[in-house]
Amino acid sequence: MLKKITTNQTKTMLLLMLVFSVVILLFSGLVYFSIVNFSHQRFYELLKIRATTIVQIEKSKEHLDIPENHILNSMNDEELPMERDYVFAVPTDSNFSTISKEVHIPDSFFKNIVKKGEANYNDKEFYYIGQSFRSDNKEYIAIASAKNHYVVYYLGFLKRTLITCMILSLFFSMIFSFYLSKTLFRPILKITGKVKEISSENLHLRLEAHPGNTELNELVDTFNDMLNRIETSFETQNHLIGNVSHELRTPLTSIMGEADVALSINRSEEHYRETLQIILNEAEKLDRKIKALLMIAQTGFDGKIQKMDKVRMDQLLWDVIDTAKRINSKNNVYMDISMLPDNPKKLKVQGNEQLLHLAMANIINNGCKYSNFQQVKVSLGATDNHLYVIIKDSGIGIPDSEMDKIYDPFFRASNTKNYEGYGIGLPLARNIIKMHNGELLVNSKINVGTTVQIRFPIFVPTDI
């Protein structure tokens, strides 16, 4: 797993470097070609000014004798680098081949000037711009040319500068990509290391949340939720293994013993009837214990396959109380509504209604039974994030020395011998509540009573 993460980290680093490199190359190319284009346009503008000046000078000589073809001298001290200016008379046959050979400029350039009135041309070293004009009833062409030192020298310097910047940028992008990829994968590596520490001996360990990282925290919450289910499963399995042999062996031993005694010698019909009744009673006990075991196992291992929906806890508790009174009219349960929130949305939790009903019924029925049918008080309240159910009785309580065993299946406190039961109600309720991401706390004092506090997260609708 670590090797795979390292490989992904390397791939991420290379991908980031590739992206940075492409962006740097694109921007460097854009800057270079934009400046080259600007320099060309700007130089042509300067040449156009020179060509226009030539035309004006030549027109001012309209009544003077102007040679048909001549090269102008510098017009001022601000001439362009290696500037050469020409004035040519347009041949009557529009054949510029002679002039073209003389100044080494394509004749198409001259034809474009005549046709369009203005044209430009460059041979990568010299730039030319020409204009046509009329003087003394003759057609002339004025051409201004110069060498673009900006392109030759300054753009060369720009090219070297951009290459140097690109090399430095690639170097720093490599460092940044390595740092960024390491930063991105560091939480995952920490999670991987923490997961490797978790085994069946320390399932209580949980992954820590990472502030500001919503996606990673969602993964952490999902994994912690899975660990909660696995821990519940292991606890249930350990409890079952520790108790099932004793709890199932007792009725089986009684059944086999009674059958063995009955078969050892011939007995009366009445004695056989009594023996069969004992066997039936023990078989029924065995059947109930097996069903209880299966129910605990279901909530411990397969609880998450149950259908989950939003449940109104106040309505569910009223239904549990009504059911408890119908089962035994002696059950005295009082519902305290003084702490009910004003917002009914805070009374909703996400869960399986049948399982929650079973958990609440077990706790309330235990309260009624072990308090000798004195009043059991059920309170319901809520905060912004959690809903609380408090069930309080005035019964026999649980000895302090036995509080750490109350969640063991089939465990019964030493002061419950006069009460029927199998010791599966509280473990079953706890598994159901843990399945719903809830928490169950029990506080009890001998001959004073027991208080059970249950906390559930409030139902939060998810936007689809």
Span 182-214, pLDDT tens digits: 776 677 777 777 777 776 666 667 777 767 667
In a domain, residue 247? The reply is yes
Examine the fold and report which residue of 262, 281, 305 is the final residue of a domain before the chain moves on: 305
Sheet containing strand 386-392, edge to edge, reads 333-336, 376-382, 386-392, 449-457, 439-445
My answer on whether 70 and 88 are in the same domain is yes
- Confirm if 115 and 141 have CB atoms less than 8 A apart: no
In a domain, residue 404? The reply is yes
Q: How many domains does the chain have?
A: 3
Q: Which residues contact 213 (CB under 8 A, 6 or more apart)?
A: 187
Examine the fold and report which residue of 97, 130, 152 is the final residue of a domain before the chain moves on: 152
My answer on whether 298 and 365 are in the same domain is no
In a domain, residue 347? The reply is yes
My answer on whether 351 and 334 are in the same domain is yes
pLDDT of residue 239: 57
My answer on whether 451 and 436 are in the same domain is yes
My answer on whether 268 and 319 are in the same domain is no
In a domain, residue 47? The reply is yes
My answer on whether 325 and 358 are in the same domain is yes
The pair of three-digit structure tokens given for residue 295, joined into one six-digit string: 């129910």
Low-confidence ranges of the chain (pLDDT < 50): 1-5, 64, 74-77, 301-305, 464
Give 3-state DSSP helix, strand, coil % of the chain, rounded to 5.
55, 15, 25
- Confirm if 447 and 399 have CB atoms less than 8 A apart: no
pLDDT of residue 303: 44
My answer on whether 346 and 421 are in the same domain is yes
In a domain, residue 88? The reply is yes
Domain range spanning residue 230? Answer: 199-305
My answer on whether 8 and 70 are in the same domain is yes
In a domain, residue 398? The reply is yes
pLDDT of residue 226: 78
In a domain, residue 160? The reply is no
My answer on whether 367 and 322 are in the same domain is yes
My answer on whether 322 and 457 are in the same domain is yes
- Which of 103, 136, 130, 99 minimizes the C-alpha distance to 117? 130
My answer on whether 280 and 324 are in the same domain is no
pLDDT of residue 324: 86
Q: How far is CA 53 from CA 57, 132, 199, in A?
A: 6, 13, 91
In a domain, residue 179? The reply is no
CATH of the domain at 409: 3.30.565.10
pTM of the predicted model as reported, rounded to 2 decimal places: 0.46
pLDDT of residue 151: 66
My answer on whether 338 and 451 are in the same domain is yes
Q: Is the dihedral of CA 216, 219, 221, 227 positive or negative?
A: negative
Examine the fold and report which residue of 305, 324, 355 is the final residue of a domain before the chain moves on: 305
